[in-house]
Each structure stands twice: as C-alpha cells, then as structure tokens.
Amino acid sequence: MKKTIPILVAAAAALFILAALILGEPLAGWLEIVLNWAVIVASAALLVAIATLILTHLRNIVRGKRGFIFSIILISTFLVSFIGALVFGVDNSAYLRWVAAIQLPLETSLLGLAALVMTAAALQIFRSRGWSLLTLTFGISALVFLVISLGLLQALNIPVLTTVINYLQRLPMIGARGLLIGIGIGALLMGLRVVLGLERPWGE
Amino acid sequence: MILCPHCGKENLPQATRCVHCGEDLEELFRIEGMEDNSALQEEPDISVADLLESFRNDSSPKDEETRSADSTGQAYVSDSGAESNAEMPAEEEEQAPEWLARIRKRAQQEEDAAGELTRKGNSLDAARSEDHRGRVDEEFANWIGRIRENARRENLLMPKPAINSAASEEGVPEWLRKVRELQPEAEDGEQFAEEPAEEPAVEEVEPEEEQGEAAAQDQAQETESVVEQTSPEEILGDTEPAAEAVSELEPEPEAESAGEKAQPADEEDSDSGDAEELPESAAAPQFAPVLEELGLAADGAALELDEKPASSEELSADLLLLRRQKENAQILMNLIGEEGRGIPPAKTQRVSGRGLYRLILGAFLLLVLAAVLVFVPEAKPKQIENPAPAVALKDVLDRLASGDKVLVVLEYQAATSPELEQIAAPVLRELETRGAELQFLTTHPNGLWLADALMRAAEIPTRETAFLAGGRLGVLAAALNSEGNSAVIPAGIEELQKYELILLLEDSQTDIQNWIEQAGPWLSASKLGVLASSQNEALLLPYYDAGQLAGFAAGTLQGRVLAQALDQAPLTSAPSRAFQAGLLVMIAVILLGILSKAEADSSARHSKEPEA
Amino acid sequence: MNPMDIVLGVIGIALSVMIFSYLLGDNFFFRAALYILVGVSSGYAAAVLVTKVILPRLVEPLSQNGTDAFWLGLVPLALCVLLVLMLVPRTVKAGTLPLAFLAGTGAAVAIAGISRGTLAPQLLSVVNRFSPELLRANAGVNWGGIVEALFILLGVISVLFYFHHHLSRKSAGTQRPLLVEGISSVGQIFLGISLGMLFVGFFSAALTALIARMLWLKEFILALLAG
Amino acid sequence: MNEIITLDLLAIAIVCLALLSLAIALLTSRKHPYRNLRKNEALLDAEKLMHEAAEKGLRLTIGLGVNQVSSAPAPANLAGLPVLRLMSRRSVFNDQPAQALAGDGALAALGQLIVRGKYQNALATELFKPDFGLLAGATPYAYLAGLLPEVNYRANAGVFLLGSQRPETILAASLAEQKDLPLVAGTDDLSAQAVLLATNARLCLGEDALNAGAALESDPGAAASVRAQDWLRVLAVLGLLAGAVLKLLGVWQ
C-alpha cells in the first residue's frame, strides 16, 4: 500500500492536468491552482536541498574533515548573500550590485575558460574519436561555420556566394529537426511511463 | 600493479582475480616468488646471472656439478627449497668462516626460492648462446623494477578503514595462516635476519606536491621530524634491530577514532591534489611476537654480522644481500600492516601531459586576443545581409507602432550576459524610440539584476522586472491566464495574447522550448521573437521553419547586422576583430588536429608494413 | 571612478584571475572561487524564492483564516512539511509524496508541450513543403522546390533511423537490418553538419564572454590609470 | 485556425499512438524484454565501471543535470536516475558509496530518495547519509561550480553526466579527461551533445541518453519504451512519406 500511494498521486496529478489542458475552460481555474501548488512545492524542494547542502558543509567544518576550509567559504558567502537579501530586500539596487559584482565575473570567466578548454579539446577530436562519417562531417561542418561566422565572405557581397552561405546556414536545420523529433519521442514515452507508474523516479 | 598473465592488463598486487578478464591470479600471489623478485631489484645494474655467476666462481668445481644438477632438477621441483640445502657437502662449510657459510647458504636458498620465473630465466640462459643473455637479463630486471615500483606505490596509498570481513574466527587472518604454512615451523631465525632499511621507510612517502591543508602539513612535519631523529649513521650502523627501527618510523595512528572508521563518508575528502597518508600501522607492536616467530626481528643475527667485517669485495656482496632482506622484511611488515583492511584505493594517476597542451593552447588564445584588443583598431562595420530569420524579425519590429505592448523576457545566465546585451541593447533602444511599451519579465532569480544591467547598457529608463516562478509551469500558467488576475502570474503582467510581441532573450535550449511548447500553442499568430546566444542558432532553425517563431537573431554577428538594419549603433563593447582572431585560432587548431591524426595514422601504417 | 566601483572592480579582477588559474592546474584559489559562486548564488536564489514565492503564495493565504485561499493553501503546506522532514536522515522517505506530485505534474506538462509544441509542428512542417503548386507552377514544374522538399524529408528520415534500436533476428541480435544501417549512415552526415554548427555556436558564445571579460579588464585598468 | 486544429488533433493522435505502442511493447516482450535491442556502448561501459569501482574501492560520481528554478522535473531531467539506482544498489557495501549531484532541488531530493531506498533494501539504513544525494548549486553555473571539485575527488573511478546537462559541462569533461577518468555523458541539450562530442567522453547521442534503464537491463519498462520508440519512429516515417504524397497530389489541403 505504501508503494502505490505515490504512484496514484503522480497519476492523479498528471491525468488532471492533461484533462484540464484538453477540456480547457471548465477546469482552467483548478488547473491554475494545481500549477500554483506545484510551483510552491518545487520552490520548497530547492530550499530543502540548499539547507541539506549547508548542513553537510557545517558537518564537514565541525568534524574538521579535509577540505573544511572550502566549506567555511561556502557557508560564509551563503549567509552574507541570504541575510543581506532579507535585510536590504531582494530588489535593493545596492545589494544587487554586490551580487552582480561577484556572480558576473565568476560566471563570465567560467564561460571564457570553456573557450580555452574547447581549443585544446578541438585538437584531440580526431585522435580520440578516430575517423568516422560522423566525426568527419562534424569537423568539416565546424570549419565551414567558423569561416561563415568570421563574416568576411558576407562582406564581399557576391550574390552567388551569399546565396550559398544562406543555404549552408539552413542545412543544419535537417539534423536538428531529426534530433528534436527523436528526443521528443523518447521524452514523451518517458513521461507516459511516469504517468502510468512504470517509471517511479522517487525510488523503487 | 601485477600484470595478468592471461590478458596482460594491470591488476592490484593483492588481487586474486583479474578485474579485466576474470582469470585466476593465484600463482602470481605466492609470497616466496614475490619476495625474491623484489629483493633482486636492489641492484638493477648487477644482473641476476652475474650474481649467481660470482657465487659459482667462489665455490669449488664440485659444487658446480651439484648446483647444475640442482638447478636443472629444481626447474621442475615445486618450490620447496629446503631439500636442496641438505645436499651441500659438509667439509666446504667448515673451511669458510661461519658467517660466510651462512650467507652462501642463504644465497643458495635465494636461488632455490627464486621462484618459477627466475628458474625459467636460468633455463633460458642454459639453452641460449652468450649474446642473448644480456637482453633477457635486461628485460627481467625491468620487469622486476616494475614490480618493485608497484610494491613501493602500494606502500604509499592511504589505507581505507574497511569492515574487516577477512579475519577468521580465532582472529588470525586467512592470508597470514597461508604465509605460515609456506614457512615450515622448524625454520631457524637467520634466514630472515633483518637489517634496518638503508633508506628509511619515510623516504618512500613522496612529499605532497600541493599541501593545501594544515592537517596534511602536520602529518608531513611529524614524519620529517622522525627522519631527522634517525640519522643516516644510525641507519647504516645497523645498531637498531629492524622491528624497532621500522616501528619508530611508522606514523602515529590517524586521529580518527575507531568509531568513525565505520562511516565511509568521513573518509570522503574533496581536497585537491594527491595527499598521501602514511600506512596506518597502529597494529605493528602487536605483531612483534609474530615477527619473532617468522624470524624477522632476530637481533642477534644482525649484530653478529657487524662485528666481523669481511674483505671489501665480499662486504659489498654481503651488503647487497642485507639490503635485499631488508626489502623482504619491509614488504612483509606492510602486508601485516594491511591486515584486515580493504584493498587500498589505487591512486588515480595524474597524466601530466594533457594539462600541458591545454595550458599552451589556452595561453596562446589569450595572447592572440589580448594582442588584438590592445594593438588592432576596431574595423568599420560593413554592410552585409542577414539570414532570413533575422530579416523576418526586423520586419516584425518595423511593424510595431507607438503604444504597442512588448513583453521582454530575460532567460539568460550572467555568463552570456555580455553577448545578449550586445544583441538586445540596440533592439530595445529602437523599441523605446518607437514609443513601444516595454514590460520586463524573468523566470530566473539572476534575471532581476541582469535586467538592470541590460537597461543601463541600452540606455533606456530602468523599470521594475517581474519574476515569474515555476519555469515551464509558470509559462503554462501565464499562457492560460485569460482573465489576467492569476495567483501564479506576478502583478502587472497581462494576458499574453494582448502583447504585440514577446521578445525572448535566451541562452538555453530548455527555456526556448518552454516558451515554444507551453506558450506557443495558446498564442494565435506567432508572437514569439527570439534574440539568442549563438549556441542556440541550430536549435531555432527547425522552429522558425515550422512557423513557430516570428523571427530570431542569434549571435553577435547577426545582432550587429540587425542593429545596422534598425539604424542603431552597436555597443562599443562589441569588438569584432578580436572575435575574428579567436575564430581563426580555432580554425587553425581543428586543421592541426586533422593533420596530426592523419600523420599518426600514416606512421602507424608504416610501422606495421615492415613486419608484414 | 567612485571608491565603490574601484572596490567592486578589484573584486571582479581577483575572482577572474582565480578562475583562469585553472589553466595552471586545479589549485586552492580556483576551488575557492567555485565555492564562492555556489555560496552566493544559493543564498540569493533562496532569498528570491522565500520573498517571491513562499511568503506571498504559501504563508499569506494561510493568514486569511477561513477563506477559500486558506483551505486551498493547506495542501501545499502539508506537502512542504513532508519535504522539510527530508532534512532528518531517518525521515527522508517522507518526501516521496510531494516528489511524486511534482514528477506527475512535470510529466503531464511535458507530454502536452512535447506533442503539441515540438512533434506535431515539426512533422507537419516537413509535409507542408509539398504542395500541388510545385507541380503546376506557371513556369513548369518547380524542380528546385521539389528537390529541396525531398532533400529535407529524406534527411529527417535518415537522422531518425540513426537511433533505431531493433536488431535484426537474422543476425542473431548482433546487427541492425541492412536497410536501417544504410539509411543511418546518411543520417550521420546530417547529424555531423548540425553538431558542427552547434559546436561553433557555443565556441562563439564562450569566445564573446572571454573577450568581454578581457575588454572589461582593459577598460578598468585604463580608468584606474586615468584616476 | 485550420492549422491549429490540425496540430491539436495530430498531437492527440501522437500521444494515443505512443500509449498504444507502449502497451503492445509491454505485453509482447514480457518474457525477454531486452532481447534484440541495440545498446549504447557508453552505457555498457557503465556496467564495467561499476564493477571496477567496487573492486578497487573507489567512488563513482554522477551529475544529474540542471532544471529551471522552482520547476517540476521534466522527463529529460530524469534520465540519470536509472543509472543512479543501479549504481547506488551496487555501492552500498563498497569502500566508498556513489555520490550524486544535482542542479535542482527536486532532482537532489529524488537522488536522496533513491539512494536511501537502496540502503533500506540492503538493510543498511544506518550507513545512509543525506550527503550521498546533494544539490551542487541552485543555478546552472553554480551546478558546474559544485560539480568540478567532486570530479577532481582523489579516489574517483569514473564520472557520469546524465540528464539535462548544459554545454559548459565541457569543463567537467576536460577535467575528467586530464585525470584520465572515464566519463559517460548523455543529455537532451543539442549544444551540449556537440561540445561533448569534441571530448573523449563516452557519449549517448540523441534519445539514447533517455534509455539508460534499457541499456543497463535494469528496467523492463524502459526496454518496452525503447521498442515503442522504434515503432513510433517507423509510423512517423510512413506518415511523412504518405503526407508528402497526399500533399503533392493535392488530396490533403
């Protein structure tokens, strides 16, 4: 019995939302309420997960486990940004400037670091993957789109060249569409398994 | 690591079954065989054959026949070395001093106990001509060197406290009883007479390259202080019996109490670098009696050897043997120290080469970009034509009139904010000048402060940004919100149908698909215009082709052309020269990758051809 | 340049250098920068959720005693209490019910979105390229249009078959049918083209971020020197 | 308006066909659910990795991917859970238990529930710690920042990145490559697939990332879902061909 209750709750929520989306107006009000509940519960799940993260690092500090210095850094920055938001308010511009001054350089530098790491990875593509139809077209396609991204060919303003470039820029649509349809079918069937109780992400 | 004889792959020395092919590794594990091989490594330059040769020359011709008979006999005899000793002629023993006889006896036992591989080496020597012997020795020495290296690396690994499932009922572990069966009770102590190791055990502890934490440094200082106390003379002088010298060098047991050992998570350390811990040997003193029984801690033999110095030639041979036995004792001590512990995790080797070429290529790209940013002046933007989706978006923007409502949705991360600001700022400036009514909405917490930065970059008056929580749930609720007063929708955001254009600023596939899948079906003519990061261009093409988007512009190049088409100046922070230089570096690297792969293939083909 | 800007600028430079020190190998400063990012973003996200979701949409309705909003607010309250019990190791299992509710909701919204927002329009758009006008265009048959439509149709079909799972019984479950293998090798070409563009797209985005960071550094230093 | 009705009807038809093919696949392949199905090599390596980790007393790290803030998990976000299920069942009595990291609250909670369930099934609940299923960060880049130190953990046997990963996880893939750690990756994000193709990660392209349960032979329902996917694929291709002909001939306006 304990195992079937979660399955019934998941199936009930899913079937109600699908019915409300198909029937439209009569259930629109209730659908909004259920969506509101889901947003509140998802927000609470994130808060609980953040609390678990903080408790874990607190335990590391108390136990003096290796790497507890980083736990101190994490907890102190968390407290500063969380208490600062509650004291000054989340929309306070001075507080937002401090958050931006820390997050922006860190995230931009991480993405910039990804560019440097991709340069090194690009050298090894063929050594690690070997020659295959996929890797060969991947390499040639990457070279072609790098040249197009330079913008030098477009600047020549040669009509034929521009037409070829426009056509090349639409060519990846075919592979992307096939990928989207394939992944869509896979995700659709996984969603149906969750609704039917075949896939129970919460455990057994 | 021991090499599996069946598939040739590496396995842990203590492994009884090869991880890779599952074959049994029983015969490689025999204590006797392992000991002698490691003992022989002490002198890589003096090969086994020379050593044995030197003993043969010392002894009289009569021994020659007996030994050669023995050696051929032994090749097929199982490893019981004891019987071959009994055949030694008695007179030969009386002439030589007692201690030298004992060394020779030991040398013979070394030879008998050399285990299957050495015997094969000897039978190979007998079968081959003189010129092949050097190569065989060399391979043999290398192989032993590898085993020695592995044994040393095993010594360094941090032992993981594990649930002790290997202890038998009476507390004597299974494998220790096996060791005893291999050594008959009646053995006298000298065979394992022990000398303290020439190099103190501490030396094997590689100083950590990155001693970040205080705990690791204390441990290192502790072991260094022990090394200083044991001065080289003391070690070389062999005044201390082996067991005490070794136990003195052993580190104090870890601060962890026994209780904590049961919690594997405590061992979890997310520290950087490869902090080595000395092997826990809190149990060493309890094993002194066992070592006594096994003859490891026999003090007398060690002292005895000291008192009668032999001639320099024999002395060096003797020291060779003493050092070899020292290794034996050290390995056995480590095995005993490991008793009841799970297989220590093999330290994941840091392959140094890969970080280097990443550093070189990364530094090269940084240098090129810095040089272009500093020295190369910015180019005058040229008139080029945008692809169709961007042209379609411009037409939609052109159709907007004063007072039209436009919902600007920010769903990008701080990392891609420079790119999105370069694309969106000119468009927002154009909409503001047209008198369109802009409303800002975000589904990310960071969107609240990114919106302020975007408005400052676009030089438009800042206004409040609404936060729509719930991701795809919030977007669906906003799309279904026909009366405009929903609990899920933030105040001020109206029914989506009332907006002329919903301008999405995106850098992630999930967020783009949310608006297309959850809001798109509920909006009549497609009102979704997208300004996206260049990473999403290929994703947006099928949706635009299917008529689900009014238009889109992706990447700084299309953003700049769109700004020109709208007669808006692109942001000053949009250098195109540096961007082009970066793309050229990537083109060069990919071409280099193709060439190096082709070259590697051709050299592989050449190396195969001569053999075939 | 006011003092606040200078302080924030120096913090930005320090954090950027700590991140780029990764090129020299993983080190203490790189790790510290990562933990700072996790700490600040978690604290800020938690504050936004508390002030913009939990307080206005959970606590506030519960303060309006006896109203519909109050009774309706009891359901998410119960689910949230069950989630909070997950903080205690022994009662982790209490979170099963709220998470089942979330999984069911997410699945339903995704099923509707994927089928109506991606699968149907994408399949239909492949077919919509074919129309009778292609055959009865006044200047004769519009071969260009027909070839392009067929090219897209066959391309999408070949990419779909690249992921086909069934193995042929004839090959005793070792290989896919020959027809499928043939079509999927054509699909590899189209896949390679799309993945190539996606690779360049992300590299361009990362390069733009790198250039923006270096440019900001250059301008900040020039501004500092200018005083 | 005609277009929207067609899309709605086509969407409902697709869902009904999917339900039908899933039901048929469940009924027809009950005895041998995994027979004659292609399995992705990347996920086959996952099995060997789990054995090796247990044998060597090392740890496995799995990144479950990101999701939108305060949103319900979509099916694509759940792609890593079947691997976590198998991995945590195998590592209950290992020297080092598996470590799961998520970029979303609901995913982190689901990870904890799964690991706790496995310890309970093995009657070793006292060994369970909430740390085994942790939130790495609340935003995508914070998730990456929380993931990198765990990839760099000293005694890792391998790293799994399954679920909705973003392209910046190439930093984690590059770190794993530098430390010579085997990496198994699978995501529904197209950019991330392209970027991970440039590394030496064992990659599940496209929908293979969503079928881990079938490849690991740990979930008969997943195997039935893979069969149903193939039938839907064939139906879609036949539908495309028939639609093209009908449209060309003007039968279907």
Confidence of residue C202 (pLDDT cuts 50, 70, 90): very high
CATH superfamily of B388-574: MTH777-like (3.40.50.10160)
Q: Tell whether C10 is covered by a domain.
A: no
CB pairs under 8 A between C and D: 200
Q: Nearest residue on chain B to D147, judged by CA atoms?
A: B270
Backbone φ/ψ region at B470: left (φ over 0), alpha (ψ -120 to 50), beta: left
**% of chain A with per-residue pLDDT over 90:** 69
In a 3-state reduction of DSSP, which class is residue D92? coil
A162 neighbourhood in chain B, CB within 8 Å: 385
Q: Across all residues in chain D, what is the average pLDDT?
A: 89
In a 3-state reduction of DSSP, which class is residue C177? coil
> Into how many domains does chain A fold?
2
Confidence of residue C41 (pLDDT cuts 50, 70, 90): very high
Domain-ending residue, one of A40, A70, A90? A90
| Angle, alpha carbons A46-A50-A52 (nearest 5°) | 115
> Into how many domains does chain C fold?
1
pTM: predicted TM-score of the whole model, two decimal places: 0.74
Separation between Cα atoms, residue B266 and residue B239, nearest integer Å: 41
DSSP C119: I
**CATH for the stretch D39-216:** 3.40.50
Q: Tell whether C19 is covered by a domain.
A: no
Mean pLDDT of A44-65: 93
Q: Tell whether A104 is covered by a domain.
A: no
Q: What is the pLDDT of residue B146?
A: 78
Kindly provide the b/e burial profile for residues B284-320, where b requires at least 16 CB atoms within 10 angstroms of the residue's own CB.
beebeebbeebbbbbeebbeebeeeeeeeeeeebbbb
User: Given the structure tokens 């406290």, which residue do they identify?
Assistant: B161
Interface membership of C27 toward B (CB under 8 Å) = yes
C39 neighbourhood in chain A, CB within 8 Å: 73-78, 81
D69 neighbourhood in chain B, CB within 8 Å: 443-445, 469, 471
Q: What is the pLDDT of residue D52?
A: 86
Q: What is the pLDDT of residue B531?
A: 96
- Across the interface, whether the CB atoms of D105 and A46 are under 8 A apart is answered yes
B545 neighbourhood in chain A, CB within 8 Å: 170, 173, 177
Q: What is the mean pLDDT of each run of 10 residues along chain B (612 residues)?
A: 74 73 60 41 47 51 41 37 41 56 65 48 49 62 76 58 42 56 45 38 38 45 42 39 38 39 39 39 46 43 40 56 78 72 45 69 91 83 79 92 93 94 94 93 93 92 91 91 73 86 94 93 84 94 93 90 86 77 94 90 79 50
Separation between Cα atoms, residue B383 and residue B371, nearest integer Å: 26
Separation between Cα atoms, residue C76 and residue C54, nearest integer Å: 10
Mean pLDDT of D13-26: 94
CA B464 to chain centre: 49
- Domain enclosing residue A24, as ranges: 1-90
Beta bridge partner(s), residue C166? D37
Interface test mutation site (partner C, options A21, A78, A79, max chain C beta carbons within 10 A): A78
Confidence of residue C23 (pLDDT cuts 50, 70, 90): confident
Report DSSP letters for B474-531, one per residue: HHHHHHH-SSS--SSSPTT---GGG-SEEEEEE--HHHHHHIIIIIGGGSSS--EEEE
Q: Tell whether C124 is covered by a domain.
A: no
Segment D97-117, tens digit of pLDDT: 889 999 999 999 999 999 988
CB-nearest to D105 from A48, A55, A121 is A48
Q: Tell whether C189 is covered by a domain.
A: yes
CB-nearest to B586 from A99, A117, A146 is A146
Mean pLDDT of D203-224: 88
Confidence of residue C112 (pLDDT cuts 50, 70, 90): very high
Interface membership of B576 toward A (CB under 8 Å) = yes
Segment C52-74, tens digit of pLDDT: 999 999 999 998 888 888 988 99
Domain-ending residue, one of A90, A122, A151? A90
Segment A90-147, tens digit of pLDDT: 988 899 999 999 999 999 999 999 999 999 999 888 888 888 899 999 999 999 999 9
- Across the interface, whether the CB atoms of B345 and D179 are under 8 A apart is answered no
Separation between Cα atoms, residue C126 and residue B71, nearest integer Å: 82
* 380-399 in chain B: CB under 8 A from chain A: 382-385, 387-388
- Domain enclosing residue C170, as ranges: 129-227
Please report, for chain B, the start and end positions of each structural domain, with discontinuous segments joined by +. Answer: 2-77+89-157+178-202+225-250+287-343, 355-378+579-611, 388-574
